[in-house]
Structure formats: structure tokens, C-alpha cells
Structure 1
């Protein structure tokens, strides 16, 4: 996520859906024909739905490892949105013709996932309308980078897809400018920065690759022409965004806050947790106090080891002092990415030695510096291959600190200190996101693999942090547990922060105070999280929501099975259902 998710690194949005095939499908298979003659089983419908979806969403298909439409770049204009709505309605009608009572438990979950996907996209286009106020949703770099950097086909074939795809870049950015209306300042600034990063993809190196490739002379000439037109259109768009930023700074801009009604609707679509956003917020408030209490106990135990002075009576003040003392133990700024890379083998060894979950050594994990066009949102993320390319690399993106001044870098390193950096690597890599996404690709249900639930994906990564410490990672060192609780408190604070900012009008000063004074975060981390919370909605709640559901379900199953409970078996069965919402995975596992 991404995250993730599923950053992952790709936002699974169908806003750019378009295509003429949807009408053809509706004519071939009507809802009546499904209901009356059952010409399609649900499995056949699911397969056909995915096939038709990729015609409508070729960039999503590319990220998922389906390469039939790699050369297609959809233009996000009025016509494409109309076609998207039409496609959604047709597919939803076909879906709802099935008798849900006749579906298996597995099929019913797939039904719900497809239904949620189609309804969410229509809601996004017609009501949420971020295509109007979020300029950062327009950036062609990611799809081109996927074609250039992933070795899924011979270079010449991939360059021909790049060539075809470049044709629509000018029209794409022209449509983007037509769409953008009353945007937020924050999203406009992000769009300006990230589109500048597109030139790490549209580079002299790409031109040189094309020139030295096996393309014909005519193809090479056309490649150069389209490359020049694409880079010119990107530059024009960046300049336009710059003027827009200046205007918004002077005249004022739309608020990034979406309000309670839209927030609850988006929460329902994105999290699928079986509770309201307000209910989760209230649960997080209670958990904040509980975790602070656990940290106070550890602080009391460790105080005399690190201080000669009496412990302050205020527990939070004492905890803050101890964390500040311990946080000075961290890697050097120039070694940050290398240290992340060096820790991965130790995590693999621990998981294998403890037999916590089976890891596949044939599925590569590559730690790399975050590509420039992806920077500015999160400091670490996973870019995973889709289920069509299970053997391709998973990238652990880590942003180097060379763009920070000395003060900011030191604050960041204190946040990701000796202990928390290990927790971060558990979360992002082993056995967190990387491991879960490898398993997700192996799910027999393509629907569950492709239409993953962000709360399950993020929740699993958060769950593994505690699980690893419970199993002895860090040798039960109290300092490690203190820092884990600090990290876990950040997950809880994410929910409090996101809801409070988007719904309750929390100010930046109030947000920074919550993160630094009550969640013991460093200033640089808190400032970055504030920025992130102004650029996204609901996603920050996915960590806590998914974690609580997974951990509570595990404890429920342990109580039910007693001595028969097997942790590795639980993990592997849980992960076998792809990235389905936790509430549905729970149903499947309890019904077996």
C-alpha cells in the first residue's frame, strides 16, 4: 500500500473506466438469461466480469499483471465517466440476477466484493467526485514505469506498448485540466510535485533504449515524436498546476475536509468492517488509554536503568522522557536504506525457525529507493505484482533521507530508531505486507486476490508486529515492547486523527499535539502524518480496524479450539482467502 496496497502502491479506483464492450456484453448475457436458464454459473460470471473489467480499466489490468491492454491509456473525460457508470449498472444488474441463497460461502463473498466495487465506483463518480477536486489523481507516470521497469516480456514488446500508450498522453492531461474544478490546495501541490517526478520515467535513458532496440525505423521515429509530445504536455500541465497553486494560495481553496456524511459512506465502502466510522473512533479512544497504561508500566520498570533522577508523577511525561532517551539509538542517515535491506534476512530466519508461516523463497523481495514519481506520500511502501505475475519482484520502497535538512532527518531517524525500524520491516516485509500479498496471489479466487480490502491488508501487517513479539522476536526485551506499543499507539492515533480531521475539524496544532504529546511521535513524523491526513480520507483507519478484527478473531478461535489451536495453520488458512474483508474470512473459517 497501500499501501500498498495494496500500495499496495496502486489505488484500486475505476474512475477512468470506459469502453464500448460493456453494451456488447449486456447483449450477449442479459440478467433474464442468467435468471431463467442459468447459462452462466457464478464462477463463469466472475471470470467474464474480470475479463470485461480489464477492457474498461487497462491501467489497473497492467498493475495486476494482465498485459493484453498495456498500450491503452484511457482519457478521463465525460465520455469515459458515462461509459463507466453504464458498465457498472450493467454488471450490477447481471450480478443481482443470481440467487444469493444458492451461492456457496466463498461465492457469496466474491458476490459482495464485486457488488461493493461497482457501487463504490459509481458513488465516486457521481457523488464523491474527487476527479474534480483532486488534481493528484492525474499522473501517467506509474503505468509507463510499470512497462519500462518490469521484465515481464521482451523489451521490444514493452516499448511498443509504451509507444501506443504515449499517443493519448496529451489528451489525458487536457482532459485532466477540463475536469479540475475548485480543487484543494493540498492535492494541487502534491500533483505538481509528483508530475515533476514523471521525468524519472520519461527520460533520456528511455529514448536511448528505444533507439537501440529492435523497433523498426518508422517505430523509432514515431516513438521520438510521441515522446516529445508527451513530455511537452507534462511540462505544460506542471506549469498550469503551478499557476493554479499560486491562485489558490492567494484566493483561497476548497477545504480538504469531506465532512461526516461523506466520511461514513467512504468508510463503509473502503473498510467494510461491520461498524460505523464513529464506532471505530470510539473504540480507538478506549484503546489509546489502555496502551498508554501498558507503556507506563514498562517505563516504571526501566526508569532506574536509564535515569538517576526521580520518575515524574505524570505517566505520559515519564514515558516521553524514556522514549526520547532510547530514540537516540538509530542508524546513520546515509545508511537508512541499506539498514532496511540488511534486516530482511534476519526476519526470514526468525519466521522460518519459529514456523510461523511458510515463506516462498522463489518469490523475490527487492528493497529499493522509492521512485521519484511515488515520493511525497509515505516513507515506506510495498509494490507487489498482481496475481497474473506471481513470480515477479515485490518491491519494498524506502525513501532515502537526502532531501531532508539535518534537523528533519534526525527527527525522522529518532522516530524510526533501532527498535521501531525493525517493527517497520516486520510490517512492510516479513511477515507483513510482502508475505500477505504473496499468499493473496495464490488464492483460488481471482476476485479475492484482485479486489483486495485495504483494512485486511493493512490489518494483517499490524497484526504481525505484535504476533512476532509475542513469539519472542527481540527476546522479550522491554525496550522493544515499549517501542512496539509506541508504534501501535500510532496505529490507534491514525484512526483518531483521520476521523477528527475530516469530521470534527481538528486543527494542525491539535493534530500535532495528539501525535507528539499523547502518541509520543517525533515532530517530523507528526508533520508528515498531518500532510498525509490532508491528502487521504479513511485509509488511515484501515490499520487499526483490520488489526483489531484479526487479533480479536485469533483470540476467539484460540479460546474455542484450546490445545488444538495451531498458530501456523491459523495464519496460512487466514491468508488463503486472498485479501477479502476480515469479517468474511472469519465467516469462512468458523463455518468449516
Structure 2
């Protein structure tokens, strides 16, 4: 008996020592990763600001290719240190995720290197020409006189950055890599809008950017932090910076765009038409889906999903006793007045108010499905005038970890005929809760993860979760209107259609009109929105496939957990697991869930 006790005690000592060593190595890795990420953040003052920090607050990112190369070399150098300094086998399961994830990011950046010139610098969706004013308005807070001086300094930095981006676009154009002509036209319109109003012209109305600067200076004066004379001097300095730096930079960009647009294709083509375009698209698919699926596989998956969802839609047609075909029901939902608010300020406010109502409806049910809930507030807003476009997609912008800036669900409401009410409820759940707001906020608010995991974003994970959230909301029983449930299916088939048209445009030689018609034939989306969407896919190859690929992976992993654990499966624990680890590549997420299932089954 004494020998058995001695053996047991020796084993206890051994495993306790191993556990302490494992914890120590894992914690040491977290400290190392946080230190490296702090180094990485210094490459991007704008990211620091978005995180709510005021380090390098007067600076704007360096967007030159040389700066990109410098950061890549730094990133690759960290891999040597990581592999030399840490014992992988001594790490706990979550630390191994962080270890592999850091390597994945660096290798992904290295793979991106050969395709830098293929990424369109200026387009209507991802171009930074509209991001700069929005960044200053929404992210650069002013709480002191120094903050305002930093604001003014950043205007000069933005002018420099815009020039760097223009030179990259010019270099790509020399290789005959440029977006279709429609993108030039929209970017020109957006850039001119940035310069519309005082102090850029003689208008009595202030440009949004200038209005923002003045309001922030006025707020300082109202708070007693500066006097009237100092406020007036700051306004003069800001106005001078707008006139001396911002206006010339945008005018130079506009001039070049006007010239180069004549060389752009009037009939849009997918990226397969570019030099090495097929290989570039395969890279884009891999990057956005974080899988090794081929374009043909994605296309066929999309066709199968469209067929499946059409069958579910047909069941709703019977439920509402509509006398007609699915195509006729699409036309009915697309055109009937009951599905639109008036194209007036009141109509826009009613659309926002109804969206807020449905977010309130689901709020009370969230604790039944999630153990961890976000601390950050969620706001619903209309997109600012200078970047608003008819029919453009709604989107979410993350708040800060400390709650000082809320998460915001933005909508384009300039054309209310592009905002069908049947989509209203499901879009609120996609962009808000339980979608992007929960996914981004929960990761950001975790203080036990390496910081990079709280802030990283992968489209297949983030957009896949948001589409899964639409389906989850239906499971939660919050849809009480069959037309809105049809809208939910419309949202799902919309993402399935994307698999078909994105690969069709960029790999299978589809024309823009062919893609438009396919979407019209298989959805109730208004034509204005359809055309805007297709143009989005043309300038952002691969991204639109990430939603459905990611959703299917979340459903697959949940089914694996449920079937393995049976009555012991806890959906709250599953959701906390997949949201609590941050935005992960699907391959790493799958491994993490698999290990959790094994652990739960063993317990």
C-alpha cells in the first residue's frame, strides 16, 4: 500500500511539474507574441488609433511598396526566433494555436508578395481615398489641444500617403493592371465628393471633413480646454492644411484617374484577363476562404446550394399562398410597395428604427445561446454622405476594447428602392448581434489571448460567422414574418450565388451581364443592388466566396460536436469556444474545435 502511495505521489509530482512547465512556456509565448505584435503595430499608426491608442497619433501609415517590403522582412525574421526559442511540445493547446497562427500570417504575407501589383489600389469598395476622411471623422478623437494638433499634422500625412498609393496605381497601370472603367468613374465621383464644400470651394456648406475638424475644435473650447483665440488659430491651421495638402493631393489623383480611365476596359472582365490572372485568382480564393478549394469546386458547391435553398423558398411561397412561380415571387418581393419605405428622410429613419427594433428583439434571447456577451454598445447609423452609394452593402465597424467607441452598423440609404424590407431583419443580425458585433467585440474584449488574435480578421471566419448568425437567429425563433424569413433565405441564397458568380466572372469567363442575370434569376434583390454587387465582385476577386464557405464550416463543426457529444453538447459552450479564440483561419479553427470535442468527450 505504501509503495502504491509512493508511486501515486511520484506521478502527481511529475505531472504537476510538467503542467507548470507547460503553463510557463505558454505564458512565455504569449508575452513574446504580445511584444512582437507591439512591434508590428508601430508599422501602422492608423491601426493603433483604431485600437483606441494615442501612440504615433500625429502619423499616417507608410503605403509605399518599400515600407511593405520592410514589414514583410521583419515578419519573416520573427519566425526564426519563434522556432528557435520555444518548445512546441511544451505548449498547451491554445498556445499551439497561437504559435501556428503566427506562422500562418507570416507565410500568407509572403505569398501575397508576388501579387502586390495585381491588387487594385483605387476601387469603389476598398480604396483608401474614402477611408482617409472617414478615419479622421470616426477614429481620430480629440480630447486635448495636442490631439487637435496631431489631427492637423495627420492631414499632411494623408496627402503623402495618397501620393504613395497613386504611384503604386501608376506602376500597376504600366503593367496593364487596372480596374474596369466603372470603378474609375465611381472613384472619381467619390474623390470629387471629398472636395465638395468649404473650404475646398466657395460653397456655403462645409465639407464633412472640415465640419468635423471645426466641431472638434469647438468642443475643446466648450470644455474650457482652449480659449476662443486659440480655437480660431487652430481652425486657421486646419483650414490651411486642407488647402495646402489635402486638396492638391486629391486634385492630383483626380487628374490622373481622368487620364487613365480611358485605358480601362469599358466592358468589365474578371482577373483571369490579367497577366497570370488565373494563378492570382487561385491565390485570392485560398486567401479569402483559408482553404485549398479550387475555383471549379467553389462554383459547383454554389450551384448545389442555390438549388437546395430554392426548394426551401418554394415552401414559403406555399405558406403565404402566392399564386405563381418562384421567379414571379422574386419579382413580387422585388417590386411590391409593402417591401419599401419611402425615399424620404422619414422613410430612412423608419428603416433605421425597424432595424433597431429587431436587434432589441434578439437581445433578450442571446444568453440562452451564448455564455460570453459583448460589453461594447451597438449603434445603427446611416453612412456619411461623402462615402454613401446607391445600393451599396451595409457594413459593420468595430468599436474599442474599453467601450469608449461603440460598434456601428452602417447602412447606405441614399436610394431607399435599393433597401428591400424583406432583407432588413436578417441584415441586422448579420451586421449586429449575433453577427459581426458579437464576433468582433468578444474577441477584442478578451484579455487572455495574445493581442494579435483579438485584432486579426479573416473573411472566411468573420463573414462565415455572420452568415451562420443569420441562420442561428432563425433557430432562435425571432422570425415572425414569413416574408422576412424569405428574406433570410434570400440572404443565404445571395451568398450561395456569390460562389457561382465570383468564380464565373474570374475563372470561367462570365460577362458582367451574365452574372447580373444569374443573380436576378435566383434572388429578389433589387436590380440596383445586384449591379452594385456584381461590380463589387469584379474589383474584389474571391472575397465574396468567403461568406458561404465559412458558414458551411461553422455548421459542419457544430454538427460534429453535437453528434459526438450527444446530450452533453452545450451550444453556449460551443459558441463561446469559436468566438473566444478570435478570428482564425478555418483550418486552425477546425483543429481547435476537434481538440475541444475530444476533451469534452473524455470528461
TM category (shorter chain) comes to 0.7 to 0.9
Is the contact made by 1:148 and 1:159 (CA closer than 8 Å) also made in structure 2? no
The answer for the alignment partner of 2:247 in structure 1 is: 232
- Select which of 526, 530, 543 maps to 1:526: 530
Question: Displacement, 1:176?
Answer: 2.9
Question: What is the distance in 1 between the residues matched to 2:42 and 2:523?
Answer: 46
Question: What is the distance in 2 between the residues matched to 1:251 and 1:567?
Answer: 50
* Aligned-partner SS, 1:333: coil
The answer for the alignment partner of 1:428 in structure 2 is: 431
The answer for the alignment partner of 1:3 in structure 2 is: none
1:98-177 counterparts in 2 under 5 A? 98-130=86-118, 134=122, 139=128, 142-143=131-132, 145-150=134-139, 154-177=143-166
Q: Deviations over 1:170-214 (max 9, x none)?
A: 433333332223122344334323333434453155257448753
- Select which of 72, 89, 105 maps to 2:59: 72
CA 1:333 to 1:95, structure 2 compared with 1: closer, same or farther past 3 Å?
A: farther
Question: What is the distance in 2 between the residues matched to 1:205 and 1:287?
Answer: 46
Corresponding pairs, count: 535
CA 1:375 to 1:92, structure 2 compared with 1: closer, same or farther past 3 Å?
A: farther
CA 1:504 to 1:100, structure 2 compared with 1: closer, same or farther past 3 Å?
A: farther
1:580 corresponds to 2:580: no
Runs of 5+ unmatched residues, structure 1 = 1-37
Structure 2 length as normaliser, TM-score? 0.79
CA 1:346 to 1:264, structure 2 compared with 1: closer, same or farther past 3 Å?
A: same
The answer for the alignment partner of 1:570 in structure 2 is: 574
CA 1:442 to 1:393, structure 2 compared with 1: closer, same or farther past 3 Å?
A: same
1:559 corresponds to 2:538: no
CA 1:467 to 1:247, structure 2 compared with 1: closer, same or farther past 3 Å?
A: same
Question: What is the distance in 1 between the residues matched to 2:123 and 2:477?
Answer: 46
Q: Deviations over 1:83-126 (max 9, x none)?
A: 23332332333334345444333223223333333333344343
Structure 1 length as normaliser, TM-score? 0.80
1:191 corresponds to 2:177: no
The answer for the alignment partner of 1:243 in structure 2 is: 258
Q: Deviations over 1:120-169 (max 9, x none)?
A: 33443433324675466663653554444448561424312212222333
Question: Displacement, 1:223?
Answer: 4.0
Which is greater in Rg? 2
* Aligned-partner SS, 2:525: coil
- Select which of 75, 86, 90 maps to 2:73: 86
CA 1:543 to 1:370, structure 2 compared with 1: closer, same or farther past 3 Å?
A: same
Q: Deviations over 1:211-251 (max 9, x none)?
A: 87536998666544333212322342343144225533599
Question: What is the distance in 2 between the residues matched to 1:47 and 1:118?
Answer: 15
Is the contact made by 2:121 and 2:165 (CA closer than 8 Å) also made in structure 1? no
The answer for the alignment partner of 1:467 in structure 2 is: 472
Q: Deviations over 1:250-309 (max 9, x none)?
A: 99999655633112212223321354444333222211111112222332444xx343xx
Question: Displacement, 1:324?
Answer: 5.0
The answer for the alignment partner of 2:343 in structure 1 is: 333
The answer for the alignment partner of 1:448 in structure 2 is: 453
Q: Deviations over 1:462-518 (max 9, x none)?
A: 11211221222124x544433322221101001111111111121112101110112
- Select which of 367, 370, 392 maps to 1:378: 392
* Aligned-partner SS, 1:168: helix
Larger mean CA deviation between 160-169 and 496-505 belongs to 160-169
Q: Deviations over 1:561-584 (max 9, x none)?
A: 222223333222321112223443
Pick 1 or 2: higher relative contact order, CA cutoff 8 A, min separation 6. Answer: 1
CA RMSD of aligned residues (A): 3.3
* Aligned-partner SS, 2:364: helix
- Select which of 462, 470, 484 maps to 1:457: 462
- Select which of 413, 417, 425 maps to 1:400: 413
- Select which of 27, 33, 37 maps to 1:46: 33
Runs of 5+ unmatched residues, structure 2 = 1-24, 196-206, 597-603
CA 1:61 to 1:301, structure 2 compared with 1: closer, same or farther past 3 Å?
A: same
The answer for the alignment partner of 2:287 in structure 1 is: 269
Question: What is the distance in 2 between the residues matched to 1:109 and 1:318?
Answer: 49
CA 1:66 to 1:293, structure 2 compared with 1: closer, same or farther past 3 Å?
A: same
Question: What is the distance in 2 between the residues matched to 1:219 and 1:151?
Answer: 16
The answer for the alignment partner of 2:544 in structure 1 is: 540
Question: What is the distance in 1 between the residues matched to 2:488 and 2:231?
Answer: 57
Question: What is the distance in 2 between the residues matched to 1:513 and 1:141?
Answer: 30
1:483 corresponds to 2:487: yes
Is the contact made by 1:195 and 1:234 (CA closer than 8 Å) also made in structure 2? no
Larger mean CA deviation between 543-552 and 331-340 belongs to 331-340
Question: What is the distance in 2 between the residues matched to 1:361 and 1:224?
Answer: 39
CA 1:486 to 1:251, structure 2 compared with 1: closer, same or farther past 3 Å?
A: closer
1:513 corresponds to 2:508: no
The answer for the alignment partner of 1:20 in structure 2 is: none
Is the contact made by 2:48 and 2:54 (CA closer than 8 Å) also made in structure 1? yes
